């Protein structure tokens, strides 16, 4: 069961994580060319991570919805877009805000100085930020999946366990 869950999470998050890592290090490095202020650099790296990560997540969801729609001979609609956006906000919203505004910038600020290596420190800070982020995101994802799979009562509401 644990192996299956890890495979599911990797399939779900790894592509976005790879893009987010590249954009985090790139944004921090480009900012470092223009500023030596580690706070500015850390926030730039965090913003770069968010742009790369969430654009990939959004693209993955759109591709998945298009595949489902094609199988049903439906056209992608504004309703699909609204549903995708809502699902992303539910899954990533709270963790993304805490991570993007506080935790990840803090770690990306801290580790370049601690490790005395800018690029490696940004990468380590980003990865430590990932650990805290994914604890919250995976919890949110699993709760959302659990609630979606609850049996429906005769009155149309979901049973709560």
pLDDT mean over 13-39: 94
pTM: 0.81
Tell me the domain boundaries of the chain.
Answer: 2-141
On the question of pLDDT at 152 being above 60, the answer is no
pLDDT mean over 58-75: 88
| Contact of 11 with 74, CB cutoff 8 Å | no
What is the pLDDT at residue 85?
Answer: 92
On the question of pLDDT at 101 being above 50, the answer is yes
Confidence of residue 75 (pLDDT cuts 50, 70, 90): confident
Confidence of residue 155 (pLDDT cuts 50, 70, 90): low
What is the pLDDT at residue 73?
Answer: 84
On the question of pLDDT at 154 being above 50, the answer is yes
Contacts 24+ apart (CB under 8 A), 116-120: 118/29, 118/32, 119/25, 119/29
What is the pLDDT at residue 43?
Answer: 94
- How far apart are the C-alpha atoms of 31 and 131, rounded to whole Å? 24
Q: Give percent of the chain above pLDDT 90.
A: 50
Give whichever of 70-79, 130-139, 152-161 has the largest mean pLDDT: 130-139
- How far apart are the C-alpha atoms of 121 and 108, rounded to whole Å? 7
What is the pLDDT at residue 153?
Answer: 56
pLDDT mean over 8-14: 89
On the question of pLDDT at 161 being above 70, the answer is no
């Amino acid at each position: 069961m644990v192996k299956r869950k890890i495979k599911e999470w990797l399939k779900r998050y790894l592509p976005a994580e790879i893009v987010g890592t590249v954009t985090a290090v790139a944004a921090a490095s480009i900012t470092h060319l223009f500023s030596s202020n580690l706070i500015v650099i850390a926030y730039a790296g965090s913003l770069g991570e968010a742009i790369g990560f969430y654009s990939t997540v959004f693209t993955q969801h759109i591709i998945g919805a298009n595949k489902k729609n094609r199988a049903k001979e439906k056209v992608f609609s504004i309703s699909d877009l609204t549903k995708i956006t809502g699902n992303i906000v539910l899954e990533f919203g709270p963790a993304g805000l805490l991570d993007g505004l506080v935790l990840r910038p803090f770690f990306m600020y801290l580790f370049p100085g601690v490790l005395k290596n800018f690029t490696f420190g940004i990468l380590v800070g980003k990865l430590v930020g990932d650990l805290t982020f994914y604890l919250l995101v995976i919890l949110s994802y699993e709760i959302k999946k659990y609630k979606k799979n609850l049996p429906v009562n005769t009155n149309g509401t979901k049973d709560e366990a």
